[in-house]
Amino acid sequence: MLSEIGCIALAIYFEARSESLYGKLLVANVMSNRVKSKQYPDSYCGVLTQKKQFSFLNKKSPKLRIGNERAWNESYEIAEHVYEHNPTYFEGCHYTQVGINNKWTKVLVKVIIEGDHVFYKGEGCK
């Protein structure tokens, strides 16, 4: 069973390991904002395992193999920081890769583009 920090680190590693430090923090920020929202689970692991929310878990049986120890250690350090200090970099609960357009991307407000991700606010998060 993963710790709350481990769940944050997994999201950072598998969603943003090649992004800048700020990009990694923004992914963790989305998780933090969801934990604070009444519309999402109240734990990081609950947010992480919610159906169809994180692309690396959307496969039938994802293979979660840590192949880059340096990136994993960095993801874990960022996760510890986010868990302990709960910083807010933007108000929003959603992100997707640049160039992806879904129904929900049309109704949310685009807030930040960082690296390969677009971050949005709306729908349950201020």
The pLDDT of residue 98 is above 70:
yes
- In the prediction, which pLDDT does 10 show? 95
Residues of the domain holding 18:
4-89
- Average pLDDT, stretch 73-78? 97
Q: Contact at 8 Å (CB) between 88 and 33?
A: yes
* Per-residue pLDDT tens over the stretch 7-33: 999 999 999 999 999 999 999 999 999
What pTM value is reported for the model? 0.90
Domain assignment present for residue 70? The answer is yes
The pLDDT of residue 106 is above 60:
yes
Domain assignment present for residue 13? The answer is yes
Domain count, the chain: 1
Q: What is the CATH number of the domain that holds 48?
A: 1.10.10.2520
Domain assignment present for residue 111? The answer is no
Question: 97: which residues sit within 8 A by CB, 6+ positions away?
Answer: 116, 117, 118
Q: What percent of the chain has pLDDT over 70?
A: 94
What is the rounded distance in angstroms from the CA atom of residue 50 to the CA atom of residue 39? 12
What is the rounded distance in angstroms from the CA atom of residue 79 to the CA atom of residue 29? 10
